[in-house]
Amino acid sequence: MAFPRPKPTTMETLAMERANPPFNIRKMSIAMHGSEKALILKEKFMAEIARHPAFKLSDIHDLSKDELRERTMEKFASMVYFVTNESLETFQLRMQLIGIADPSFWTRFGVAYGLFLGALRSGATPNQLSYWTDRGVLGLNGVIGCFAMTELAHGSNVAGLETTATFDRGSDEFVIHTPHLGATKWWIGGAASTATHAAVFAQMIADGKRHGVKTFVTQLRDTKTFTLMPGVTIGDIGKKMGRDGIDNGYIQFTYVRVPRAHMLMKHTQVSRDGVVTEPPLAQLTYGALLGGRTSMVTDSSNSAKKALTVAVRYAAVRRQFATGKNELETQLLDYPIHQRRLMPLVAQAIAIGFTGLRLQVMYEDMTQALDTMEPSDPNLNDILDKLKETHATSAGLKAFCTWACLDTIDKCRQSCGGHGYSAYSNFPLMYADFAVQCTWEGDNTILSLQAGRSLVGAWGAAVKGKKLAPGVAYLNDSSLISAKSDSSLSLSDIQRAWNCVASNVIKKAAEEYVRLLKSGKSKDEAMEKCSQSRFIAAKIHTIGYIFRLFKEAVEEMKDDEESRTLKTVAKLYGLWQIEEQQGYFLKYGYLDAQQMDKVQESVDALCQEVRGVAIPLIDSFALSDHIINSPLGRWDGSVYESYFAQVQAANPLPKEHPYFTRLIKPLLERQDEDMEDPGSAMGLDDELKEIEEERKGE
């Protein structure tokens, strides 16, 4: 008698997936992290926070808003130690990890260091920065900062903010004031409960003249008693979609006076006599925005990798239905349609990760150039052109990378079936916490249009023969407009495809803009009228840009198994995105219908090929079980055991039912009352019968 083959456990299944990978996982992980040093530091950080009581994550799904805020504050002391004792480079890597482990804390701490301190660094003079550093802004011993930019009625339109800062020459002070409800500072992280000072963005007025939005350091609370300062009104804006560990609040100022020296004067200066000196190069203020956008590209990759670690491991161990003559049920990851659901998203997360690494280098080079640049610099125009291009590119990347990540998280959730809907899968919290990335630091649609505006300008410059910055240099090649595929679908063919289609959609937007100008529209009206074309231009350019940076990164690597695997991943990303945007490739003739069918076949084959190394590839993301915080994605594959244990531990049954006596028992034991029939009580039927008989008698 033949006995059926025993079904392998989920742990055995995952171990088999890891057997004999075609590449060295450690080397692959080093490549994805940029250096061995960065990977070693990440592993060190993961070990540290896994043992830190304040970074306990397993119970986070069952904490209240107030408990989450308190837990967030518990982490501050340990992070202050690191920020004051580590190099900036090391601390930034630490915060990258914190960002995917606990986004609420990353944001709250980032408000104090990334935004408030960042505002000081980018806007203060050297003496002003020293002044605030001496008063404890770095160690949070004297100043806990927040970033008061957005208002109830204004967010993305910073130039339209309505809080005022009026210079009083007599007292040498600025008077900060909220003129009406719409000017109330809103969504201010840290304002509700924890901040002592704010970097307040307000319209500066001197001698009755407005000089635009400037930044003013304004004290909110007494640092000894924590009572509000005179004229400052603060409230809590309450529960949000996610990131409940952040105490977002609102602030209203009623004629609050701050010393003139509290205005950050690196770019614009106001003298004791009220003389306002504007910066010779207003574009230099762009630089302050690039750091945040760069970090969000990296965070998009890391957060997507976190979700994919869970979804891919779960797909490897979950078996559903026996196919063909197989005795065993089939692993989800072996179904072609499931490979289609997840493998392109893996490729996209890796592509964005390499883009983030290269963008960080570009940002550091740009920052160094800006810090040392003088108005008389002979390379001034080249640096400014590159700054504008980097500013626009970072806007597009921030938008489309954060959108891609949010979409990835939800697709990963759906791919895990019903279990993905459980809070303990961690997908609901991941989604709720990440969603804000699509709207803060610039609404994604607005940023896309900014990127599109820049591309329209770049096309105009290319037509005039100007040599463009590297990110848009392909627009200088006029032959791309009518380019055709060589049908190889190689990396170079894919790159040419994106350059061709991007050139065409940018050309369309630019020509539409010019046509509108000629019809009598103003520049602003013409730009608004061609918004959809600008948006499409930004989207196609950005996807092609991500592909190009990924392709360049893997082609620069030593030719080994790791680089060959990454070239396969790059090819999958480039072709999958062509398939996703196929209308444009057909419209502009780079590919015909038959070639597009070949693209689909290639994506199918590449998904199957990447599936073969999916678990080793996911392992190279180097995310610990503590960081992913999901039993469905356990490294050892103990999915069901871990899930059951967590649910049981977090939801013990009470000894006494909380509402049986009050609600359930009366429902079960209720007695149906005999309802009196009004008709019978009235004798209505007999009465109607008598009336009818009387009628007949007549």
Residues, the chain: 698
CA distance 267 to 127: 14
How many C-beta atoms lie closer than 10 Å to residue 58's C-beta?
A: 14
Are the beta carbons of 55 and 102 closer than 8 angstroms?
yes
Q: Which of 624, 649, 647 is nearest to 50 (CA)?
A: 624
Handedness of CA 348, 450, 392, 484 (dihedral sign): positive
Handedness of CA 394, 395, 400, 402 (dihedral sign): positive
Q: In Å, how far from its chain's centre is CA 220?
A: 29
Q: Which of 271, 270, 157, 256 is nearest to 211 (CA)?
A: 270
Take residue 530 and report the two structure tokens written for it: 């061609």
CA distance 52 to 75: 9
What letter would DSSP give residue 201? Answer: E
DSSP states of 464-499 = TTPPPPGGGGGGG-GGGGG----S---HHHHHHHHH
Are the beta carbons of 208 and 188 closer than 8 angstroms?
no
Amino acid residing at 415: S
Are the beta carbons of 202 and 165 closer than 8 angstroms?
yes
Q: Is 107 helix (H, G, I), strand (E, B) or coil?
A: helix
How many C-beta atoms lie closer than 10 Å to residue 186's C-beta?
A: 21
Question: What's phi and psi for 531, nearest 5 deg?
Answer: -60, -45
Check if 441 is active-site: yes
- Pairing between strand 185-189 and 248-253? antiparallel
What letter would DSSP give residue 654? Answer: P
Does 189 carry a binding-site annotation? yes
CA distance 468 to 666: 78
CA distance 246 to 107: 7
Helix orientation angle between 287-317 and 427-434, rounded to the nearest 10 degrees: 160
What letter would DSSP give residue 283? Answer: G
From 162, 173, 441, 562, active-site residue: 441
Does 150 carry a binding-site annotation? yes
Helical H segments across 426-556, by residue range? 427-434, 444-463, 491-518, 523-529, 531-555
- Pairing between strand 164-168 and 197-206? parallel
- Pairing between strand 232-236 and 197-206? unpaired
CA distance 602 to 476: 31
CA distance 621 to 627: 12
Contacts of 68 (CB under 8 A, 6+ apart): 60, 104, 244, 245
The contacts found for 104-109 with CB under 8 angstroms, 24 or more apart, are 104/68, 104/72, 104/243, 104/244, 104/245, 104/246, 104/433, 105/72, 105/75, 105/245, 107/189, 107/243, 107/245, 107/246, 108/72, 108/189, 108/190, 108/194, 108/245, 108/246, 108/247, 109/75, 109/76, 109/79
Q: Which of 58, 97, 63, 67 is nearest to 79 (CA)?
A: 97
Q: Which of the residues are catalytic?
A: 441
Q: Which residues are part of a known binding site? A: 150, 189
Q: Which residues are part of a known binding site for FAD? A: 150, 189
